């Protein structure tokens, strides 16, 4: 089944074109890396897919429907990024309980188990957690939601290598038991090579490549030696 389909998708902010004539298709039950330097349009693309933004031109369909202000898309999609905000009076535990009301596949037991593993206090307020713990907690929400379409925008930013490896391992393990479509935006694509099935490369809001990891590996050339 096709999960995401775009045709000439364009998003502008005034004179700035963040996404430029983007056409691609994403099939279900894949782990996809979204790659590109800062300003390439990765976050804007994920927000368009999640229905948080309305396209300027072109079309986008998620689960067969336009995602902007679409409740069917919203209940089957989660977008995780480092600027998530919650009711200030809600503790981590309150948030975990609330998630069950929104996401049909939510696994509260898994979420609490992961919070314990990463030493996140269930009675703490998210805004009182360190930046690294916040990002870990947000990523836990994405994993435990088990949404058919899970979008993770730089989920391991600011985390040390050991924690990043643990998170990649947990993602893959849960995906194998509960397949869904995961799109992970990251600069650390080398670390995730064993996790990913496909790569989407953006540059200047344009699609430069969309291929399998195997195809990409065949195109890579490593050169060593002096500059001369």
Look-up: residue for tokens 């994403």?
Answer: 26
Residue 60 Ramachandran class (φ > 0 left, ψ -120 to 50 alpha, else beta): beta
pLDDT at res. 52: 96
pLDDT-based confidence at residue 220 (cuts at 50, 70, 90): confident
Q: How far apart are CA 140 and CA 115, in angstroms?
A: 8
pLDDT at res. 191: 78
Answer for the pair 141, 174: CB distance below 8 angstroms, yes or no. Answer: no
Residue 86 Ramachandran class (φ > 0 left, ψ -120 to 50 alpha, else beta): beta
Q: How far apart are CA 79 and CA 139, in angstroms?
A: 10
Average pLDDT, the chain: 93
Percent of the chain with pLDDT over 90: 82
Neighbours of 118 (CB within 10 A): 18
What average pLDDT does range 21-33 have in this prediction?
96
Instruction: Express each pLDDT in 83-122 by its tens digit.
Output: 898 999 999 999 999 999 999 999 999 999 999 999 999 9
pLDDT at res. 184: 96
pLDDT at res. 194: 83
Q: How far apart are CA 7 and CA 54, in angstroms?
A: 14
**Model-level pTM?**
0.93
Q: How far apart are CA 167 and CA 154, in angstroms?
A: 12
pLDDT at res. 152: 97
Q: Are strands 2-13 and 57-62 parallel, antiparallel or unpaired?
A: antiparallel
Instruction: Express each pLDDT in 145-164 by its tens digit.
Output: 999 999 999 998 888 889 99
Task: Tell me 191's DSSP state.
Answer: G
């Amino acid at each position: 089944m096709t999960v995401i389909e775009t045709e000439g998708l364009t998003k502008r902010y005034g004179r700035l074109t963040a996404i430029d004539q983007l056409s691609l298709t994403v099939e279900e039950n894949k782990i996809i890396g979204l790659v590109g330097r800062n300003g390439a349009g990765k976050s804007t693309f994920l927000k368009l897919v999640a229905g948080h933004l309305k396209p300027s031109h072109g079309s986008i369909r998620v689960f067969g429907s336009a995602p902007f202000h679409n409740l069917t898309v919203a209940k089957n999609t989660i977008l995780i990024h480092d600027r998530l905000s919650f009711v200030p009076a809600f503790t981590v535990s309150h948030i975990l309980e609330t998630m069950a009301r929104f996401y049909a596949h939510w696994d509260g037991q898994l979420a609490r188990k992961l919070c314990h593993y990463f030493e996140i206090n269930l009675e703490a307020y998210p805004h009182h957690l360190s930046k690294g713990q916040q990002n870990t907690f947000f990523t836990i929400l994405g994993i435990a939601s088990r949404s058919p379409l899970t979008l993770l925008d730089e989920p391991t930013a600011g985390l040390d290598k050991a924690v990043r490896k643990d998170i990649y391992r947990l993602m893959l393990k849960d995906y194998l038991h509960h397949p869904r479509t995961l799109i992970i935006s990251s600069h650390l694509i080398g670390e995730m090579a064993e996790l990913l099935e496909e790569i989407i490369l953006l540059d200047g809001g344009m699609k430069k490549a969309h291929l399998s990891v195997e195809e990409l590996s065949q195109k890579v050339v490593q050169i060593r030696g002096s500059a001369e």
